[in-house]
Amino acid sequence: MLASPQDYSERMNYQFLDTPLGTLRLVSDGTHLQRIEFEGRHGSSDSDREVCDSVLSSCASQLQEYCAGERETFDLPLAAGGTDFQRAVWAALADIPYGELRSYRDIARAIDKPAAVRAVGAANGRNPLPIVVPCHRVIGSDGSLTGFGGGLETKAFLLRLEGALPRER
């Protein structure tokens, strides 16, 4: 379940996590996971501090289990900013089962906005919690892999890990 952040002016905690996907930066407010950032896209502000709180520790552990093929779902307190539309898209993404794919059109239909395919794509691209809120499971209606914040190689890696794409030989 995605909660709305209460106040972005509060100090954020972060932790770096080395994964097969590169170094991820996990960000929390101490109560909820706020963002997961891919290497090369790590943000920061003067109010951020490197502190390992219980949310970050749990997220790191669950991501390591996921990358090892030992976890299919995440159980984390999440809070993401964004518009009502974006949060509706992200909630629909969270409903995509492990190892399954959906198109942007499928997501638009799932949120009862069938004409909003492009807007769904834009909201998908702004997902602040990739992997945990599985935007990587969304593909083009022609079956092609489309944009992903971590890059298409990372998207393909995640989909192969989940069995949604055949393993490379």
Catalytic residues: 135
SS3 assignment, position 94: helix
Residue 68, C-beta contacts closer than 8 angstroms, at least 6 positions apart: none
Residue 19, C-beta contacts closer than 8 angstroms, at least 6 positions apart: 63, 64, 67
Q: Which tokens belong to 166?
A: 């055949």
Q: How far apart are CA 96 and CA 20, in angstroms?
A: 23
The neighbour count for residue 25, using CB atoms within 10 Å, is 19
